[in-house]
Amino acid sequence: MAVTESQVVDALRGVLDPELGASIVDLGMVKRVEVDGPAVSVAVALTVAGCPMRDEIDHRVRSALAGVPGVGRVEVHQEVMSPEELAEVRSKVQGAPPQAWSAPARGHRLGHEEGRANPFAVASSPTRVVGVSSGKGGVGKSTVAVNLAVALARGGRSVGLLDADVYGFSVPAMLGVSARPQMADGKVVPPEAFGVKVMSMGFFVGEDQPVIWRGPMLHKALEQFLVDVDWAAPDFLLVDMPPGTGDVALSMAQYLPVSEVYVVTTPQLAARRVAQRSAYMAKKLNLPLRGVIENMSWFTAPDGSRQEIFGSGGGAQLARDLAVPLLGQIPLAPALREGADLGVPAVAADPASEVAAAFQAIAEAVAAQRPTRSKPEELRSR
Ligand SMILES: Nc1ncnc2c1ncn2[C@@H]1O[C@H](COP(=O)(O)OP(=O)(O)O)[C@@H](O)[C@H]1O
Ligand SMILES: [Mg+2]
């Protein structure tokens, strides 16, 4: 079976640049691929001459190609990128963390460098990390995270909000924040809106730009969102969790070993699968499930009557299935969507409204929960 060029390129797609953490194909580092029978020759352009990673790249390319059936002799030619090519790579990883973040110390590990400890992973952290999660998309997870954060802040707590839904970030728009965060004293200063300090991938990527990063880069970005951001030890750090148990969710769980998880659901019954997914997620991530929040519970008509548009009982059933409390129900309110679109959360726009009162009550219920604390030995082993 003859080896084809596209097989070679596909195999190389899985090769990550050791420093940028992205595919050498996506980064445009693969300059030529020649196939002659079983012999394959690949030209890889390095970002700098005398790149200390050249042996590593050579090794990664060879091991990737060794896995392609029919490949015999492999030649790897290393070249150096022209300034134009380098600019191209920069634009590809653009949307990447700010300049000061782009050259992380090699071989560093979370919390192992002076001044780069993860403040949320230490047993003495005063912060309750509250993950807002859902078993499926579109249930209002971000809406709940944002309004809950603002409600907690209005109740006098210091609050941070981390948008960990990196591929589907929506927090900046919901809070009307678009400014790129500034650096001060080597730390990133999170923008503040409605009393909430915010960090999101959205600050570094254009609204309509896809996030092209692969696992390792995302992992690194999330780490930096925790470690290099000046959160100032808030009472609460709310996390708009990504859906499911993908890479990002796992990274978050690893970095935030003491987070509590709250699941947002809708009133529809037949939510068993959602319950199973949520329970599975928490178990896989080794995080405690602490409560259920039902969203879109009813619509209050102008005549004051309640219409249960999406049915009823889903939140209570999920809470029963997961053996956690149902912390509250949030009505369907056009003001909630309008607020999200305008960048003014409903809780702040109209604190006297029914929906704001619902969030305020849930915020108090969350605050009244007994905080979860991991044992110090668990923390040390991370
Ligand atoms: N209780 C509600 N009443 C009215 N609109 C809502 C409500 N909850 C969410 N929405 C709207 O539904 C859409 C999806 O909500 P969002 O928070 O983005 O969901 P998720 O983060 O789970 O994908 C948004 O347009 C949001 O404004
Ligand atoms: Mg969302």
Quickly state the pLDDT bin for 155 (edges 50, 70, 90).
very high
pLDDT bucket at 322, cuts 50 / 70 / 90: confident
- Is 24 touching ligand 1 by the criterion CB < 6 Å? no
Q: What is the pLDDT of residue 206?
A: 64
What is the 184 CA–ligand 1 centroid distance (Å)? 34
> Nearest CA to 148 among 341, 366, 318?
366
Q: For ligand 1, is residue 339 a contact (CB within 6 Å)?
A: no
196 and 345: one domain?
A: yes
Q: Is the pLDDT of residue 234 over 70?
A: yes
pLDDT score recorded for residue 173: 95
| Residue 183 and residue 79 share a domain | no
Does 162 or 259 have the greater pLDDT score?
162
Task: Place 170 in a pLDDT band, splitting at 50, 70 and 90.
Answer: very high
pLDDT at 213 over 70: no
Pick from 78-92, 152-166, 195-209, 346-360: least confident = 78-92
Does the beta carbon of 234 lie inside 6 Å of ligand 1? no
pLDDT value, residue 73:
94
pLDDT for 377: 38
Based on the domain organization, do 51 and 172 belong to the same domain? no
Does the pLDDT of residue 376 top 50, yes or no?
Answer: no
Residues 308 and 183 in one domain: yes
Residue 113 pLDDT > 70: no
309 and 374 inside one domain: yes
What pTM does this model have? 0.71
Residue 159 in domain: yes
C-beta 153 within 6 A of ligand 1: no
pLDDT tops 80 at residue 10: yes
Q: Is residue 261 part of a domain?
A: yes
Residue 105 placed within a domain = no
Q: Does a structural domain hold residue 104?
A: no
Please indicate, yes or no, whether residues 165 and 247 belong to a single structural domain of this protein: yes
pLDDT, residue 224, reads: 86
pLDDT at 50: 65
Give, as one character, the DSSP assignment of residue 127: P
Of 94, 118, 136, which residue constitutes the final position of a domain? 94
**Is the residue at 121 inside a domain?**
no
Residue 235 and residue 363 in one domain: yes
What CATH number does residue 12 fall under? 3.30.300.130
- 201 & 314 share domain: yes
pLDDT > 80? residue 103: no
Give the pLDDT score at 85: 78
Phi-psi region for residue 22, left (φ > 0), alpha (ψ -120 to 50) or beta?
Answer: beta
Q: What is the pLDDT of residues 22-78, one digit of tens each?
A: 788 888 899 999 999 999 999 999 877 666 678 888 999 999 999 999 999 999 999
Q: Among candidates 260, 248, 264, which has minimal Cα distance to 286?
A: 260
132 and 60 in one domain? no
Ligand 1 centroid to Cα of residue 139, in Å, is 6
Is the torsion defined by CA of 278, 132, 227, 123 positive or negative? Answer: negative
Distance 341 CA to ligand 2 centre (A): 13
Q: What's residue 256's pLDDT?
A: 83
Residue 245 lies in a domain: yes
From residue 127, alpha-carbon distances to 34, 159, 264, 297 in Å are 55, 9, 22, 30
**Are 322 and 181 found together in one domain?**
yes
- 333 CB near ligand 1 (under 6 Å): yes
Number of domains forming the structure of the chain: 2
Strand ranges for the chain from DSSP E: 30-36, 39-46, 74-80, 128-134, 159-163, 182-184, 187-189, 192-193, 196-200, 236-240, 260-265, 289-300, 306-307, 326-332
Half-sphere exposure of 89 (CA within 13 A, CB side): 25
State the residue range of the domain holding 360: 128-380
Does residue 202 register a pLDDT over 80?
yes
pLDDT at 382 over 50: no
Do 239 and 370 sit in the same domain of this protein? yes
